[in-house]
Each structure stands twice: as structure tokens, then as C-alpha cells.
């Protein structure tokens, strides 16, 4: 049986038309496309008859058509090859989507940042390397083997108004330690201010008319040190620093063993009834018997016993019939 070439061409043409038709979607109202967010918004009204007749297939057909429109527009964008894949360069998003989390709050400025803003001071980034005039080479500005290191000088000039017997090397080291301690305390105060805690004072600034004692200064220092998120656990200790005392009450926990749950509950019950008086059963019974006897033999208004009782063996009131 022979096959005509015309039939083969007709089948090929139909397949090509079917393939083109599968990638072509017609809409009465254009679909709003946001390629930056890969979003397609279809504002066409739904066909109530088709929706009622076959809901699942109708919705699947709509989803398929809108997805096809989105992909058709994506592949009309500029493309590039990344390794073995061809990707499209998406434009900037047009639709503003809600955030998953709130916008992070900006950190409050430090005292230096506030001062620099008022005075118009701008921070200039310094280079890491600096020229050393002694060795005639570039050396790090800070750290080990830094340039222009004045701590290794073997002689220092005595100022005009200074005491000639004063050790300038010791004075220089003392000033450096004071600067380091001041910077550390200022850093801790900035952390306390950001966390919303009480900001401790430095030196005599919080009590201008009263000189602070050693205990007050020590309490202020430890309060600033504990103002970090880790409560000062990872802060470096100063030289000859004494541990803080009475910083808080320690929690007490009951021992896990040695005392059972039954003994603990019985102890609570005994404490509850410890102050209640003990009841004498015999005494209570005898008192109730005596009260009943007196009630029976007590004469009434007419010289007879109480209603319903007998007077010294006499007859009581009979019931009316």
C-alpha cells in the first residue's frame, strides 16, 4: 500500500499548526505581567458554565495559558549563557510585595557620632600602611612592627613645665592605660544605651557636687561591664581587677535525689496543718452527750419538758389523729 507525499505533508502541517497553537494564548483582556517578580495577573472574567461543568480542568487550562504567556514574554528578553544553561535577564520588579519581616531599626548614634554630626566632622578612612622615617620603608599603621612606634624610644624629652624627676616612660604608659580604660568604658556605655538599659556614669560626671567613693566607682564599672548581651562573660578583665560581689541572688534548686515526690508533698501538707489545734475525739463526744442530756431535761414554759420529750418519766404530748 503506497503512501502519498501529499498526505505526509498535510500531517506535518497539522502537527506544526498544533505546536504553534499550543504556545499561543488569546485573551479578551491583556494579562498584566510583572517579569521582575515572575507574576501574571489575569483580570478576565471566568466562564460560569465551564466552571460549573468541569471545575478542575477549566482552572488547569487557565493556569496553563497564563503560565505560557509569562514564559513567552520571558524568552523575549535578553539572554546569556551561564556554563551549560541559557538564562534570561529579568527587569526590575514593578509590583511592591509585602515584606516577610519588619524593616530593621537603625542603631542609635553614639556620643561621638552625634558630636561629629553637630560639628560637621567627616570620618576619613586611613590607609593601613604608613611611611616610617627611621627605616625608610612602609609599615603597618597599627599592630606588630608598626611604623613610627614611639613606645620603643630609648630617650624622651622632658617638657618645660614638667617635674624633672618624673619618669616620662612610666607617665606615658599610665596615660595609655587610662585611654584604653576610657575607650572600653565608653564602648560599654554605648552598648547599654542601645539595649535600653540604665547608662552608668563615668568618673565624676554623674555626681558633680559630690566626690565618688571607691565602692561607687567600682559598682559603676561593673554595671557598665555587665551591660552587654552576654552580661560581661566575654569581656577581658583588667589588671588586678577584683571580682564583683553581691551582683544578684543565686537561685536555689531542690536536690534531684534523696527526697522523693511523696516526701515533698507530705512536707507541704504538714506545714499547712502545723498551726491547727489537734482535736480530742473523746472530749468532743462527752461534750455532745452532756448537751443532749441537758436539752432533754430542761423544763419548758408550762412546767413540762421540751416539745417531743418527756418530763421525769411522764407522758409526752401525743400526736393528734
Q: Is the dihedral of CA 284, 285, 290, 291 positive or negative?
A: positive
Instruction: Tally the C-alpha atoms within 13 A of residue 119's C-alpha that lie toward its C-beta.
Output: 9
* C-beta separation of 179 from 171 below 8 A: no
pLDDT (0 to 100) of residue 203: 47
Q: pLDDT per residue over 138-188, tens digit each?
A: 999 888 888 887 777 778 888 888 888 888 888 888 888 898 888 888 888
pLDDT (0 to 100) of residue 176: 85
Considering its fold, how many domains does the chain have in total?
Answer: 2
Q: Who contacts 227 (Cβ-Cβ below 8 Å, separation ≥6)?
A: 188, 189, 191, 192, 195, 197, 200
Q: Judge whether residue 309 has pLDDT over 50.
A: no
Confidence of residue 250 (pLDDT cuts 50, 70, 90): low
pLDDT (0 to 100) of residue 154: 76
Q: pLDDT per residue over 77-111, tens digit each?
A: 888 888 888 888 888 888 888 888 888 888 888 88
Average pLDDT over residues 251-280: 69
Backbone angles phi, psi at 6, to 5 degrees: -65, -40
For residue 227, being part of any structural domain is answered with yes
Domain span at 32: 5-88
Q: Who contacts 98 (Cβ-Cβ below 8 Å, separation ≥6)?
A: none
For residue 273, being part of any structural domain is answered with no
What percentage of residues in the chain have a pLDDT greater than 70?
73
Last residue of a domain, one of 73, 88, 103: 88
For residue 229, being part of any structural domain is answered with yes
Last residue of a domain, one of 228, 246, 264: 246
For residue 19, being part of any structural domain is answered with yes
pTM above 0.75, yes or no: no
In our burial notation (b when 16+ CB lie closer than 10 A, e otherwise), range 271-281 reads eeeeeeeeeee
For residue 123, being part of any structural domain is answered with no
pLDDT (0 to 100) of residue 82: 85
Last residue of a domain, one of 88, 106, 127: 88
Range of lowest pLDDT (31-35, 192-196, 264-268): 192-196
**CA–CA separation, 79 vs 179, rounded Å?**
59
Give the number of residues written for the chain.
321
For residue 299, being part of any structural domain is answered with no
pLDDT (0 to 100) of residue 118: 92
Amino acid at each position: 500500500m503506497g503512501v502519498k507525499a501529499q498526505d505526509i505533508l498535510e500531517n506535518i502541517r497539522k502537527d506544526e499548526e498544533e505546536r504553534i497553537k499550543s504556545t499561543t494564548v488569546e485573551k479578551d483582556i491583556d494579562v498584566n505581567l510583572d517579569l521582575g517578580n515572575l507574576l501574571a495577573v489575569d483580570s478576565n472574567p471566568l466562564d460560569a458554565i465551564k466552571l460549573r461543568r468541569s471545575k478542575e480542568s477549566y482552572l488547569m487550562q487557565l493556569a496553563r495559558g497564563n503560565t505560557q504567556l509569562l514564559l513567552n514574554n520571558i524568552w523575549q528578553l535578553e539572554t546569556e549563557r551561564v556554563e551549560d544553561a541559557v538564562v534570561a535577564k529579568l527587569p526590575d520588579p514593578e509590583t511592591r510585595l509585602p515584606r516577610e519581616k519588619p524593616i530593621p531599626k537603625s542603631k542609635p548614634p553614639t556620643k561621638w557620632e552625634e558630636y561629629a554630626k553637630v560639628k560637621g566632622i567627616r570620618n576619613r578612612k586611613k590607609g593601613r600602611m604608613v611611611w616610617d622615617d627611621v627605616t625608610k620603608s612602609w609599615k603597618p599603621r597599627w599592630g606588630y612592627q608598626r611604623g613610627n612606634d614611639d613606645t620603643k624610644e630609648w630617650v624622651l624629652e622632658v617638657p618645660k613645665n614638667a617635674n624633672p624627676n618624673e619618669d616620662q616612660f612610666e607617665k606615658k604608659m599610665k596615660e595609655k592605660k587610662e585611654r584604653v580604660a576610657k575607650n572600653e568604658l565608653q564602648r560599654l556605655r554605648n552598648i547599654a544605651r542601645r539595649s535600653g538599659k540604665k547608662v552608668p556614669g563615668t568618673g565624676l560626671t554623674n555626681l558633680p557636687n559630690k566626690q565618688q567613693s571607691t565602692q561607687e566607682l567600682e559598682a559603676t564599672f561593673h554595671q557598665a561591664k555587665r551591660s552587654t548581651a552576654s552580661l560581661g562573660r566575654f569581656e577581658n578583665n583588667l589588671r588586678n581587677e577584683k571580682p564583683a560581689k553581691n551582683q544578684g541572688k543565686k537561685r536555689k534548686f531542690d536536690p534531684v535525689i534523696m527526697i522523693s515526690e511523696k516526701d515533698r508533698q507530705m512536707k507541704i501538707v504538714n506545714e499547712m496543718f502545723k498551726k491547727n489545734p489537734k482535736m480530742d475525739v473523746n472530749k468532743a463526744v462527752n461534750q455532745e452527750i452532756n448537751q443532749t442530756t441537758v436539752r432533754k431535761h430542761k423544763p419548758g414554759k408550762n412546767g413540762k419538758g421540751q416539745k417531743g420529750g418527756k418530763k421525769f418519766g411522764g407522758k409526752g404530748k401525743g400526736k393528734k389523729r
